[in-house]
A and B are shown apart, each in its own frame.
Chain A
Amino acid sequence: MKDIKADSFIDITDVVCPITFVKAKVAIEELEDGQILEVRMNEGEPIKNVPSSFKDEGHKILNVINNRDGTYTIFVKKGGLVNEV
Chain B
Amino acid sequence: MIFNDDLIKTLKDGGFIKQKQKDYYSIRIRVVAGNITSEQMRKVSELSEKYGRGYVTFTVRLGIEIPWVHYSKLQEVKEEVVRIGLAMAGCGPRVRPIVACKGTVCPYGLIDTQGLAKKLDDEFFPTPGFPHKFKIGISGCPNNCTKPQFNDIGFQGQVEPELNEDLCTGCGLCADVCDVKAITIKDNLAKRDDDKCIYCGSCIRVCPMDAWKRKRSGVAVFVGGKFGKKYNFGYHIADLVDVEKIPNIIEKTMNFYKSNGISKERLYDTINRIGLENFKKEILEDENIN
Contact = CB atoms under 8 A, between A and B. Distances in A.
Interface of A: 1, 43, 47-49, 51-53, 55-56, 60-64, 66, 72, 74
A52 B173 contact: no
A56 B107 CA distance: 10
B205 A48 contact: yes
A56 B204 CA distance: 12
26 contacts: A1-B169, A43-B176, A47-B173, A47-B176, A47-B177, A47-B206, A48-B177, A48-B202, A48-B205, A49-B107, A51-B173, A51-B206, A51-B208, A52-B205, A61-B209, A62-B208, A63-B171, A63-B208, A64-B171, A64-B172, A64-B173, A64-B208, A66-B173, A66-B176, A72-B173, A74-B208
Contacts of A49: 107, 205
Contacts of B173: 47, 51, 64, 66, 72
Contacts, number: 37
Contacts of B202: 48
A61 B3 CA distance: 69
A49 B169 CA distance: 20
Nearest to B175: A66
A61 B174 CA distance: 14
B206 A66 contact: no
Given A43-B176, A47-B176, A48-B202, A55 B169 contact: no
8 A-B pairs with least C-beta separation: A61-B208, A52-B205, A64-B171, A64-B173, A48-B177, A64-B208, A51-B208, A52-B206
B1 to A, nearest CB: 52
- Chain A residues touching B, majority SS: mixed
Most buried by A among B177, B208, B210: B208
B131 to A, nearest CB: 43
Interface string B170-190: 011100110000000000000
Contacts of B206: 47-48, 51-52
Interface of B: 107, 169, 171-173, 176-177, 202, 205-206, 208-210
A68 to B, nearest CB: 11
A43 B173 CA distance: 10
A49 B173 CA distance: 12
B172 to A, nearest CB: 6
A44 B210 CA distance: 20
Most buried by A among B173, B202, B209, B210: B173
Nearest to A60: B208
Contacts of B176: 43, 47, 66
A50 B181 CA distance: 20
Given A48-B202, A49-B107, A66-B172, A55 B208 contact: yes
B178 to A, nearest CB: 10
A51 B172 CA distance: 14
Contacts of A52: 107, 205-206
Given A48-B205, A51-B206, A66-B173, 15 more contacts: A1-B169, A47-B206, A48-B177, A48-B206, A49-B107, A49-B205, A52-B107, A52-B205, A55-B208, A60-B208, A61-B208, A64-B173, A66-B172, A66-B176, A74-B208
Nearest to A75: B208
Contacts of A60: 208
Nearest to B170: A1
